Amino acid sequence: MKAVFLYDGKCLFCESLALYWKTKTDSEKIEFISFRTLNDQNLKSLHPSLTLDRCESEVQLIYKNKRYPGFFAIRQMMFWSTQYKLVAPLLYLPFVPFIGMFVLYFLKKFKS
């Protein structure tokens, strides 16, 4: 089963993030899609909890019927990249997810 990375094609930050991860991961394992090309029905077919509002607010990774939003999607992507595979376990340390979510929120507000 191929994973799906959803991003906002109209957001410069989200698009550059998706393009970056596209170069770092195997295209046979993951598909990068702008949610702007999908309708509500397509989103629901990917994962039942996906909505246009959720996709607008942060990137989403759908893998094995699990939804990873924002920071958690990036953390999962690091395991699939050979360059960051050794650093990725550090993102599971206590309080690191809170810091990561804040950093992504700040970067999106700053870049958008």
Tell me whether strands 3-7 and 30-34 are parallel, antiparallel or unpaired: parallel
For 37-105, the DSSP string reads G--HHHHHHH-TT--HHHHHHS-EEEETTEEEEHHHHHHHHHHH-TTTTTTGGGGGSTTHHHHHHHHHH
Going residue by residue through the chain, which has 112 residues, state the pLDDT in tens, using 9 for 90 and above. Answer: 789 999 998 888 889 989 999 998 888 889 999 999 999 999 999 999 999 988 888 899 999 999 999 999 999 998 887 788 888 899 999 999 999 999 988 887 776 5
Report pLDDT digits (tens) over 36-50: 999 999 999 999 999
Q: How far is CA 6 from CA 36, 41, 54, 68, 95, in A?
A: 9, 15, 10, 10, 25
| pLDDT tens figures, 27-37 | 888 999 999 99
